[in-house]
Chain A
């Protein structure tokens, strides 16, 4: 499993420290909400909605610079669209990893 980091955020923000802070603030607000919506839909077995949620989460995964998890999300999204939630466990580890990292920022 790859570890989240701020390299991509620094790359996008360049020397704009305030913008880096703004992005982190938004991620801290948005990520828990997006994860909660995803978990709710998955628990209700709404696989198509869950796939949309995973699609949306890909942006956060990518901005936290998690290349392997991004690939996992692509596969998982496709599997969910086909009605298969088999990768849910692995994806949950990714989400928890991200939430733990973001909580410490």
Chain B
């Protein structure tokens, strides 16, 4: 059967209820007649020989780059950087795509006799990965060959000895990145392009940058002018990264970019119903739905989290391209759109979404209220090209339990942000002015970021800025089934059921609004005409 493209369903009397993710669980909701549901295209066919495809890409680069073996020579300094634990979601089943690419690169490097090789996890201000996570991403063979010798490192944006300031862009943006990477003869970047925001110049200019550099594009004003940050040409976030990327290239840093795309085969067979259209659910799908949704609702959140976070996604490689950053990224973006793009006619008054248990910042961790806001208003809202799915002044309804729970080891500054900042303001610009610096330079957060597995002190602010465009655009945000105190703390309205939420929304959008539901994940991007 050939792959079916994305699809917009109009709900009528014979439409079965629609699956909504609800944190560590899911529910079926009956949407009002006339509502639209946007479904992602079916998975693109996987490459049959991933290792062969990777080898081919490295030997036949695009843009102005020689094949990788021609760039490798004894005595050179080679740095291989790779995307961190935030990609892909959920983590893919072994072997991870990074392992496959890096093993191929290392075989070539070993063949060429390159002795000075260092691996760098390009995690910017994200938390350091744990041993298990690194082993999963890179494979034991790479880990055991590099980690014991101190050659497997994780980018440290607070290490003054390992940062280099390359200059300022014509807009006065500081470009400061990892010194080892910047001073290498060749910087190989191994990317996973899960969504169209990833990759391109953002890989190096963001992944390997310091706070001093990141603050130029990770701020409320830039994020408000990124419409959306998933659509590179219309994204101020990306314009800034592109300026920085070009400056990095002009400063003589030779980047060999390897980008990969995955299909949206997101869930393993026993959870397959999560990516099926409801009217096609088989008896088995219905049984597993009933069993898992009941079980997940019954067990304590800690256990349901463990169950869901142990899901390893069957994501498969659909393309790999290597060479010069911009040429590579153009191909990558096209491939991402092939997998995720759905044409949607016109905007809607109410946009509904069910938020899952995972976002890029809580892999093996807890989804706290700030991340809930970021996933809904930052990610899902911005999954559009052209115009937002919801009209200006419209309403966003999200479903998530929004429990005020935090992972103290991973998100220490989030706790203080929740207790000490959100109690005083929810306005991105205001908190940027009043609080950002004190969080960004707090010595305790810096210590935890550098020596533990904590996100940087400023990270919760970035999550909130991610929402800035949506906060300025929509008239109200309603969270169905959320902890009322936590939802109010975020500045949103709590509702106990979807009907209540629609009732609350009617104050803003009138009694007979249009409603669109994004059936995400699997990830989809709406092309709104």
Is the A/B pair a real complex?
no
Q: B interface vs A, CB < 8 Å?
A: none
Residues of A bordering B, CB below 8 Å: none
